[in-house]
Amino acid sequence: MTAGQWKDYILYHNGVPNEHCATCPNTMVALKEIPDITTQCLGSIYFSCLMPGTRLRAHCGPTNARLRMHMGIIVPKAPNSPKIRVGDEIRGWQEGKLFIFDDSFEHEVWNYGELRIALIVDLWHPGLDTPEKRKAAVDKEDEGANFD
Residues spanned by the domain of 50: 6-143
Confidence grade of residue 59 (pLDDT, cut at 50, 70, 90): very high
**pLDDT at residue 66 in the model:** 87
Please indicate, yes or no, if residue 44 is contained in any of the structural domains.
Answer: yes
Closest CA to 7 of 43, 46, 50, 45: 50
**CA distance readout (Å), 48 to 23, 39, 63:** 16, 22, 20
Considering only 10-14, 32-36, 109-113, which range has the smallest mean pLDDT? 32-36
Please indicate, yes or no, if residue 148 is contained in any of the structural domains.
Answer: no
| 48 touches 103 (CB < 8 A) | no
Please indicate, yes or no, if residue 1 is contained in any of the structural domains.
Answer: no
Confidence grade of residue 116 (pLDDT, cut at 50, 70, 90): very high
Model pLDDT for residues 74-99, shown as the tens digit of each residue: 999 888 899 999 999 999 999 999 99
Is pLDDT above 80 for 109? yes
3 state SS of 21: helix
Instruction: Enumerate residues 6+ apart whose C-beta is below 8 A from 119.
Output: 27, 45, 46, 47, 48, 70, 71, 73
Please indicate, yes or no, if residue 68 is contained in any of the structural domains.
Answer: yes
| 1 touches 54 (CB < 8 A) | yes
| Tally of structural domains, the chain | 1
| pLDDT above 90 as % of the chain | 53
Closest CA to 116 of 27, 56, 61: 56
Q: Is 11 exposed, middle or buried (0-12, 13-18, 19+ CB in 10 A)?
A: buried
**pLDDT at residue 143 in the model:** 57
Confidence grade of residue 146 (pLDDT, cut at 50, 70, 90): low
Please indicate, yes or no, if residue 139 is contained in any of the structural domains.
Answer: yes
Q: Considering the chain, what is the average pLDDT of its residues? A: 87
3 state SS of 18: coil
**pLDDT at residue 17 in the model:** 86
Write the CATH number for 112: 2.60.120.330
Is pLDDT above 60 for 142? no
Confidence grade of residue 56 (pLDDT, cut at 50, 70, 90): very high
Cα(77)–Cα(95) distance, integer angstroms: 10
DSSP secondary structure string for all residues of 69-136: EEEEEE-PPTTS--EEEETTEEEE--BT-EEEE-TTS-EEEEE-SS-EEEEEEEEE-TT--SHHHHHH
- Predicted TM-score (pTM) of the model is 0.86
